[in-house]
Amino acid sequence: MRIPKVKRQEKLKETIEETPFITDEELAKKFDVSIQTIRLDRMELSIPELRERIKTVAKHQWNETVRSLPLEDVIGEIIDLELDNRAISILDIGREHVFTRNNIARGHHLFAQANSLAVAVMNDELALTAKSVLIFKRQVRQGERVVAKAFVQGTDEKGLTLVQVDSFVDSEKVFSGEFHMYRSTDKKENNL
């Protein structure tokens, strides 16, 4: 049984306020309506689409915070960041990210999302990847959303900052990377 429009729109507004990064597809399933109905409801309520909501949150929260690269150079959209501790970004895999023959994401896009997140989490003016160890766990397809989570682990034996980045589609791990990061404020001399 469907919820009346006014009630649905109230619930829609509450849901988006609680989880601003929810997709129209997820909302359509939640309210058992079409994606077009969700889009019309959002328009009536003056709620922007997901990409605009993410950009607004990112600009307000991280424009002044990210030091190592401009926010627009991060591959994906940062949705959480605590410098020198952790960061999360999302990347919706579109046609531009996949091989045309089979709609499988090109690996360099998954790497770029993870690597740029490892750079962004660094609290330094200059952060560069000195070494990375990567494991691709499964193929990612067009239309899937990749959530990358970065955690600063400490320093390695050469004085490089170690950042672990794991990427997920839903709750399934699709990529894992260990990034050894050079930063300009390191006290030890680093061998690149």
Strands 172-183 and 77-82 come out as unpaired
Q: Are 90 and 146 in contact (CB under 8 A)?
A: yes
Q: Which residues contact 181 (CB under 8 A, 6 or more apart)?
A: 118, 119, 122, 127, 128, 129, 130, 160, 161, 162, 163
Q: Does domain 65-183 have CATH number 3.10.129.10?
A: yes
Per-residue pLDDT of the chain (192 residues; tens, 9 = 90+): 678 889 999 999 898 887 777 888 889 999 999 999 998 998 888 888 876 766 666 555 554 466 666 667 788 988 888 889 999 999 999 999 999 999 999 999 999 999 999 999 998 888 899 999 999 999 999 999 999 999 999 988 888 999 999 999 999 999 999 999 998 875 444 444
CATH dotted code for 5-47: 1.10.10.10
Q: Are 50 and 56 in contact (CB under 8 A)?
A: no
* Distance between CA atoms of residues 142 and 140, nearest Å: 7
Of the candidates 145, 135, 77, the residue with the CA atom closest to the CA atom of residue 105: 145
pLDDT at residue 8 in the model:
92
> pTM (2 decimals)?
0.67
Of the candidates 77, 150, 143, 88, the residue with the CA atom closest to the CA atom of residue 118: 150
CATH 1.10.10.10 maps onto the chain at 5-47
Which two tokens mark 11?
A: 């619930």
The letter for the amino acid at 100 is T
